[in-house]
Every structure is written in C-alpha cells, then in structure tokens.
Amino acid sequence: MRGLAALLLSLWVLAASQALALRVGDLNVAPYRDYLLLYAYLEDLPLEDLREALKHGLGLAFTFRVEVYRIRRFLRDERFFSQEITRTVYYDPVKNVYYVQTVGALEAPRRATSPRQALLLASSLEGLPLFPLVRLKPEARYRLKLKAEVRKITRVGWPKKIIRFLLFKGESLETPWMSLTFSL
C-alpha cells in the first residue's frame, strides 16, 4: 500500500512540475543597423494562474537573464556580455488597465486592456537591442544563453500571503538555459 501511495505521489509531482514548466520559444538574434537584436518569447505560460494573481492585486515580474560568450577553441569560453531585463505587470482596478513596465527604462509603462495582452507584452522580447555590432569580431563565434523567470510580487501583509497560499502552487516559474551559437 505504501508503494502505491509513493508511486501516485511521485506521478502527481512529476505531472505538476511538467504542467508548470515554461519554455523559451524562437530564440534568435539578428543584426539591424548598428546593433545586435534579440528575439524570443515565453511559451506555456499558465495564463489562468497569472490572470488570477493580477486580479487579486499581486504584481508579476518577468526576468530575462542574457549572457553572451565568445567561444574559444582550447580555452574556457569568455563571458562577453551579461544583462538582466525585468518587466513588471500591475493591474489598476480603478482604471481597469494593466501596466507593463521595463525596469530601468526611460519610457512610460505600456498599457494593456486585457490580462492576456499584458502577459504577451511582458513575456516577449521583440527586437531588443543588446549591444553595438562593432564589439563583435567577424571571425569569432559566440554563444548566447537565455533564462527566464516569472515571479509573483507580494507585499508583506497577511491577506496577500493567504491569497498567495490558497491560489498559487509556487512563487516562481523558471525556464532552463537556452543557448544559441552565432557568428557575423
């Protein structure tokens, strides 16, 4: 009987972990004018859970970690570039508007009328400029690595902790590191 219970528990944990797994889709880079642009988006977002989090006053933080390495033949790869991009999503119940803001950006937060539109804005990197192309050597090969994390932002008050405990299974979702090799 214990063996059956342990088997069922392990299958449930495995199914739950696969159901809440995020993936990075269409990871790509492209030169445009004088910059290297990054293209990627998150797949398999749990839209219902994230929509409920926004409706209950919790914010969401989408953090993308980008690293670029110069591939060397006999030596360890050299880290060439590292950046962390964080986008936050908040809901304003008075105006019935969702705000998506890139942390540290000078632009105003983008407005979205639906939670789906706000989550798509926050989870996609469309033409994000990384660095100038003059920093790349034409004969060298590079590896870009990307990892994303979606985190629920909570305040320290007890009602928010109770809501988070009742509605959401975990505080954050992560993708595995995705890599792409490129050269000029």
pLDDT tens digits along 6-59: 544 554 544 444 445 789 989 999 999 999 999 999 999 898 989 998 888 889
The C-alpha atoms of residue 127 and residue 39 are separated, in whole angstroms, by: 5
Global pTM reads 0.80
> What region, left, alpha or beta, does residue 106 occupy, with left being phi > 0 and alpha being psi -120 to 50 degrees?
alpha
Phi (first) and psi of residue 175, to 5 degrees: -105, 160
pLDDT tens per residue across span 58-103: 899 999 999 999 999 899 999 999 999 999 999 998 999 999 999 9
